Homo-oligomer: A and B are copies of this chain.
Amino acid sequence: MAAYRLDDLAQYLDATLLGDGDYPIAGLATLQSAQSRQLSFLANPVYRKYLSQSRAGAVILRADVADEFPGNRLLLDNPYLGYARVSALFDCAPAVATGIHPSAQVAAGASVDASACIGAQAVVEDNVEIGANVQIGAGCYIGEDSVIGAGTRLYAGVSIYHGVSLGNGCIIHSGAVIGSDGFGIVPAGPEMPGWVKIHQLGGVEVGADVEIGANTTIDRGALDNTVISRGVKLDNQVHIAHNVRIGENTAVAGCVGIAGSTTIGANCTIAGAAGIIGHLYIADNVHITAMTLVTKSIREPGSYSSGTPLAATREWRRNAVRFGQLEKIATRLKRLEQQ
């Protein structure tokens, strides 16, 4: 891997360098594990205790703690952002695909940019459009009439149904499924058992710079499209039902489920394993804490929660029994007050 001079890194980060501008940096590491040719950073104060003893060749940190590290320092107001930006320089992951593999099955009617790469065993159906510098991983499937924007990368084993549009610069991880049928069923009738399927005639629109985690699923719309706006970040095993609309730059952590026709604003952060029921409206700048169930629309920015605190099971069980008596407890309290 190529090394970078500290002067060049300081310029790239717009950071103030204290130390040797010629010093070569060949990688990134935590304060605890960094070696002499590695750059580290201090962002979370929990790790400040490791700073003075770190063997890192240089550290990105804030000016107010700069005295605690004796070696080369890159001063930034936001070291965590600096670390993120430098991480791109040191990413040596192999390309998702290179060239068009002879085992890939690309329909004659697909339009594939000359710069795009398609991995082994991948399947691209008719009338698909694949943009410049796209990388389609091994074993991916791209259904008819779908569009993959320039620079987008699909890791191995992604399934894209027909009529799905992905913007430019997206990253889609393995096992993600985009465009599967929404869960649309209607009882067959009062005198007939079972369900009648609502055929899902809409598609999915994914904006630019969206990242979609491993084994996340996004259903196609019933009539209109399901919409994931520019800059949205979805972690692993997220479930997005039909006709959900997610606003720009909203981030959704792992195992979240969002039910049908709910609209979520921009710049929201949904923590892991939260659930949002269908047909709701969530405003911009809303934060939902982990494993919260959202059962009503949220019209004001802020943080929202549900659930109960962690406890030893024996203690929890006693309190949980009392939860089932709360209505009676409130009634008894009122009676006492009235006396």
| Residues of A in contact with B (beta carbons under 8 Å apart) | 27-30, 33, 46, 78, 80-81, 83-85, 87-88, 90-94, 101, 103, 105, 119-121, 123, 125-126, 137-139, 141, 143-144, 155-157, 159, 161-163, 171, 173-175, 177, 180-181, 183-189, 193-201, 209, 211, 213-215, 217, 219, 222-224, 231, 233, 235-237, 239, 241, 248-249, 251, 253-255, 257, 259, 267, 271-273, 275, 277, 279, 287, 289-296, 298, 302-327, 329-330, 332-333, 336-337
Contacts and interface: CB of A to CB of B under 8 A. Distances in A.
Nearest to A162: B94
Nearest to A32: B224
Given A241-B254, A322-B326, 13 more contacts: A93-B163, A156-B161, A157-B177, A181-B213, A183-B233, A215-B237, A219-B236, A237-B257, A255-B255, A293-B310, A305-B316, A307-B320, A308-B323
Contact of A194 (B185, B224, B236, B249): B249
Contacts of A224: 29-30, 33
Given A275-B291, A310-B306, A214 B180 contact: yes
Contact of A138 (B94, B141, B289, B311): B141
Contacts of A180: 155, 173-174, 213-214, 236
A177 B174 contact: yes
A328 to B, nearest CB: 9
B306 A290 contact: no
A206 to B, nearest CB: 15
